[in-house]
Amino acid sequence: MKRVLVVDDEFGLLEALGDVLAESGYAVSTARNGRDALKRLSEARPDLMLVDYMMPVMDGPAFIKAVQQLDGLGDVPVVMMTAVKAANLPKDLGVVSVLQKPFSIDTLLGVIKQYVG
């Protein structure tokens, strides 16, 4: 079973994504910000990370930079979720894809399947 870490400060979205991914056959871990997500990484290595761009405590870009410096996690694909227009995002985020909020469940599952099967 593939593992997905979902990091978002919006509780409703975090809960909904967790439910949808679990129903689709993924093992799901969730975190409300980047700092909490770093703790989750010590519990289990994900096969893919869905990360919100703007969050309190530690935002998406800071979390991704921290992950890239951890041994054995730099190759985990990261999908950024954001309401920010793609043209306004930094070019060097270190992500494999950007999901523009709001996105459909079909789009989300398609992106996940593309990177982890």
pLDDT tens-digit profile of 54-69? 999 999 999 999 999 8
| pTM of the full structure | 0.94
E-strand stretches of the chain: 3-7, 27-31, 48-52, 78-82, 97-100
Q: 73 vs 42, 44, 55, CA distance in Å?
A: 10, 11, 21
**pLDDT for position 72:** 85
The single-letter DSSP state of residue 74 is: T
The single-letter DSSP state of residue 87 is: G
Domains of the chain, earliest start first: 3-116 (3.40.50.2300)
3-class DSSP assignment, residue 88: helix
Q: What is the pLDDT of residues 22-50, one digit of tens each?
A: 999 999 999 999 999 999 998 999 999 99
